[in-house]
Amino acid sequence: MSELVALFHGFAIALQPHNLALMVIGIVLGVVIGVLPGLGGANGVAILLPLTFTLEPVSAIILLSCIYWGALFGGAITSILFNIPGEPWSVATTFDGYPLAQKGRAAEALTAAFTSSFIGAFVAILVITFVSPLVAGFALRFGPAEFFAVMFLAFASFVGLSSGSPFKTLASMMLGFLLAGVGLDTVTGQLRGTFGSTELMRGFNFLVVVIGLFGISEILQSIEEGLSFRGREGRIDLRAVLKTWAEMLRHKAIVLRSAAIGCWMGITPAGATPASFMSYGVAKRLSPHGREFGRGRIEGVIAPETAAHAAGTSALLPMLALGIPGSPTAAVLLGGLIMWGLQPGPMLFVEQKDFVWGLIASMYLGNVVGFLIVLVAVPWFAAILRIPFPIIAAVILVVCAIGAYTVNNAAFDIVLMLIFGVLGYVMKKLDYPLAPLVLALVLGDRTEQSFRQALLMSEGSFAIFFANPLVASIMLLGFVMLFWPLLSRLWQRTPAPTAA
């Protein structure tokens, strides 16, 4: 009950006219930032952080978190329309979102993405509101072994999903792991795979690689196939929206499961990226239409988007309650809190009630406002597809170059982006799956690190991965997911041998 009282007090703060205005500004700005890859999320918030210095802390965090919501919504737009994911957790959205857009169903894909994000975030906010004291402590139980187990689970639910040649899949994934390992090794402090080059010291940033592999290669493929983007039908009208909502109702199990995966991954705090991949993988495994995933199933948009936003939102809980950021953006917000003179951590909920509940209330409102704004604004975004190809291709190239540059403030990354563009074009044409490469690139580094940290702690003993019920059950779940195709065949056979 005390939560409800505090929450209503929070609403009173968030509903003050100037805060409401900041909310709308933040969402609009966020959508713009989200559409420009490289500026999205962490970078966008970091850039604007000092500008909020003159505001009240509550107003400042409302503005920044609304930019964050806006950027989350905006990221889905480019993923679906142009196959360019602006954030790591939008990658899984492209798998089915872009094929849908190509089939002329961009409107449905966008509606599904926005609605799923909205629901995912909403569930996460409910979790934050009502069970925060309970779950905040949960993150404390996560040491390196538990992190490795979660990463293992993410990989296990995803591998074996692509239908192409197993050797091409293997090569693609190993390339991703290698790219992830370039740069400074956290565990030993040594430079790896840089071959004395300063440019390679910063490693291969996910965004640079993905903008190239997905975005640039798409432009090359489009021009090869006749100078246009396929699927110009990006119009959203009420009928498409209602139709999508009706379809989503049929997939409510996927929505709820994905939201649960997302909340769990956000609180642990493994983050939104493994959550989106894991959720996509699980949805594909459990769906009777699993084989059609990747060719434009609406569930393939719903699952990752719901999980990513549930995770992205619930990641704010460990940040506020423990001072550990669950995402890069949360890390920047954390810096903001300290700048405004607030100390994140267990005492924040006690000492800064106004701030915390104002923020939570603004999450409710910001999410609703953001959802409405993007739904209304989508016809304009869809109109982008009607701009003649030569102009839009040039503009996409420019935006991609700016995005690649701003990630590390390095012009060399623009060169890398082009190289990966050509590589992506060639790989796609030769049926090398790109998803395993990206998955390994995004999660590889953290997986290796937590594996080695865990072994450092146990002084080389593998028993640490089964040392307590928590880590053991996650590992077990990972093995189940890994051998799922085998298990499901066995399971089908045993009760009814005649059916096989």
Q: Scanning residues 453 to 482, which ones bind another protein (CB under 8 A)?
A: 453-457, 459-460
- SS3 state of residue 192: strand
Query: Cα dist. 49→19, 279, 313, 352 in Å?
Result: 17, 32, 19, 20
Contact characters 391-410, another protein, x per CB under 8 A: x-xxx-xx--xx--xx-xxx
- When asked if residue 452 is in the footprint of another protein (CB under 8 A), the reply is yes
228 binds another protein (CB under 8 A): no
Q: Which is nearer to another protein, 45 or 259 (CB)?
A: 45
Judged by CB under 8 A, which of 84, 100, 139, 156 binds another protein? 139
- Residue 334 near residue 147 (C-beta atoms within 8 A): no
The CA distance from 422 to 439, in Å, is 19
CB of 27 to another protein, least distance (A): 17
Q: Candidates 102-110, 137-145, 473-481, 489-497 — which segment interacts with another protein by CB under 8 A?
A: 137-145
Considering CB under 8 A, how many residues would be counted as binding another protein?
Answer: 108
Cβ 191 to another protein, closest distance in Å?
A: 5
Q: Closer CB to another protein, residue 75 or residue 97?
A: 75
Q: Which listed range, 89-97, 117-125, 337-345, 473-481, lies at the site for another protein (CB under 8 A)?
A: 337-345
* Number of helices and strands in the chain (H, E): 24, 2
Distance CA 65, CA 308 (A): 16
Residue for token digits 């909502």? 245
Residue span binding another protein (CB under 8 A) among the ranges 64-72, 87-95, 221-229, 375-383: 221-229
Query: Which residues, other chains included, contact 383 with Cβ-Cβ below 8 Å and sequence gap of 6+?
Result: 234
Contact 369, 19 (CB under 8 A): no
Tokens standing for residue 489? 């065949």
292: contact with another protein by CB under 8 A: no
Which stretch, 108-116, 194-202, 467-475, 488-496, contacts another protein (CB under 8 A)? 194-202
Selected binder of another protein within 427, 438, 442, 481 (CB under 8 A): 427
Show the binding pattern over residues 199-218: x = contacts another protein (CB under 8 A), - = does not. Answer: --xxx------------x--
- Residue 340's φ and ψ, nearest 5 degrees, are -80, 5
Radius of gyration of the chain (CA): 22
Q: C-beta of 284: minimal distance to another protein in Å?
A: 23
Q: Cα–Cα distance between 217 and 215 in angstroms, integer? A: 6
The site string for another protein over 61-100 (x = CB under 8 A, - otherwise) reads ----------------------------------------
Q: Which residue intervals of 251-342 are DSSP H helices?
A: 252-267, 272-286, 299-314, 316-322, 328-339
Q: Which of 76, 70, 376 is nearest to 237 (CA)?
A: 376
Beta bridge partners of 191: 184
Q: Is 470 exposed, middle or buried (0-12, 13-18, 19+ CB in 10 A)?
A: middle
Using CB under 8 A, which of 133, 164, 379, 390 touches another protein?
390
Q: Does 170 bind another protein (CB under 8 A)?
A: yes
Joined together, the tokens standing for residue 243 give: 């139709």
* 193 binds another protein, rule: CB under 8 A: yes
Residue range at the interface with another protein (CB under 8 A); choices 77-85, 100-108, 247-255, 340-348:
340-348
Decide if residue 12 touches another protein (CB under 8 A): no
Binding mask 231-270 for another protein (x = CB under 8 A): ----------------------------------------
How large is the angle between the packed helices 106-136 and 2-14, nearest 10 degrees? 130
Binding status of residue 191 toward another protein by CB under 8 A: yes
Tell which one of 16, 104, 449, 466 touches another protein (CB under 8 A). Answer: 449
E strand or H helix that includes residue 351? helix 348-351
By CB under 8 A, residue 383 contacts another protein = no
**Is residue 7 at the binding interface for another protein, with CB under 8 A as the rule?**
no
State yes or no: residue 21 binds another protein (CB under 8 A): no
